[in-house]
Amino acid sequence: MDENFKLILRIQSTDTRVDEITREQEGAPKEIQRLKDDLDLLEKSMEQDLSNLEDLKKGNMGLERDLEEIELKLKKSKAKLNDVKSNKEYQAVLKEIEELNELTFQKEEVVIKWMEEIEIQEKECADNDKRWEQSRKEYESEEKKFLQRMEELGKEVQSLHEQRLKLSREVDQDLLGRYTALRAHLRSQVIVPVTDAVCGGCHLGIPPQQYNDLIRGDSLQSCPNCNRIIYFEKNENP
């Protein structure tokens, strides 16, 4: 293989690697954003749970106040029992006490249910805190890794650019021009091997005469189908 051809192949390798890096650089922020979105979603659900807990606590305080009022009424009714003048009045107060006792019982039942709800909600909030802490750590560690990776890739691109600049000064300028034009048009590998008379770019056959010239390797060939620059490569697994 002639020296120019080796040079242009090395240029292609650097270009391919730069393309790979570009794809990775473009894809990584999406993954970070996904983790950030998860974290934001979790924070919203935490706010909702906290606000639910506040509502439950407020409601419970209202119930406790109701119970205190009923208790006060009960005391008054019980005190009235000492002052009743007639049996009819006595019965009426007893009925009043009975009703208040029933009301107390009902309210207490509700308080128990609310307390249970509060307990469940408090546990949910505590679990949320743990989950959030975990997600935040994951996000921060991924972000750190991402930044490190981007720095590495940035350095690699810099070095590839320097290599390419050096190679592009050494290589035959006509060949480089041809390569550059093809690359702009194809947006994929421009120089491809031909194995068993099949082009590695378009996978179509190369005519026998051209294939023989290619094996002899005395001139630079183009694929008649896709126009890529081709070279002969022995089939290692025939």
Among 201, 211, 214, 229, binds Zn ion (CB under 5 A): 201
The crossing angle, in degrees rounded to 10, of helices 3-80 and 87-170 is 170
Of 13 and 189, the one with the shorter C-beta distance to Zn ion is: 189
* CB of 176 vs Zn ion, minimal distance in Å: 20
User: Residue from 51, 106, 148, 225 that binds Zn ion (CB under 5 A)?
Assistant: 225
Min dist CB 198 to Zn ion, Å, is 9
CB of 179 to Zn ion, least distance (A): 15
> 47, 59 in Cβ contact below 8 A?
no
CA–CA distance, 224 with 210 (Å, rounded to integer) = 9
Instruction: Tell me whether residue 175 or residue 226 sits nearer to Zn ion (CB atom).
Output: 226
Helix ranges, the chain (H): 3-80, 87-170, 173-186, 208-216
Q: Which one of residues 11, 199, 214, 229 is an interface residue with Zn ion (CB under 5 A)? A: 199
Contact by Cβ (8 Å): 56, 159: no
Should residue 191 be labelled a site residue for Zn ion when binding is judged by CB under 5 A? no
Q: With respect to Zn ion, which residue has the nearer C-beta, 56 or 175?
A: 175
Give the angle subtended at the CA of 104 by the CAs of 123 and 78, to the nearest 5°: 145
- In the 8-state DSSP scheme, what is residue 162? H
Residues of the shown chain interacting with Zn ion in the complex, contacts defined by CB under 5 A: 199, 201-202, 223, 225-226
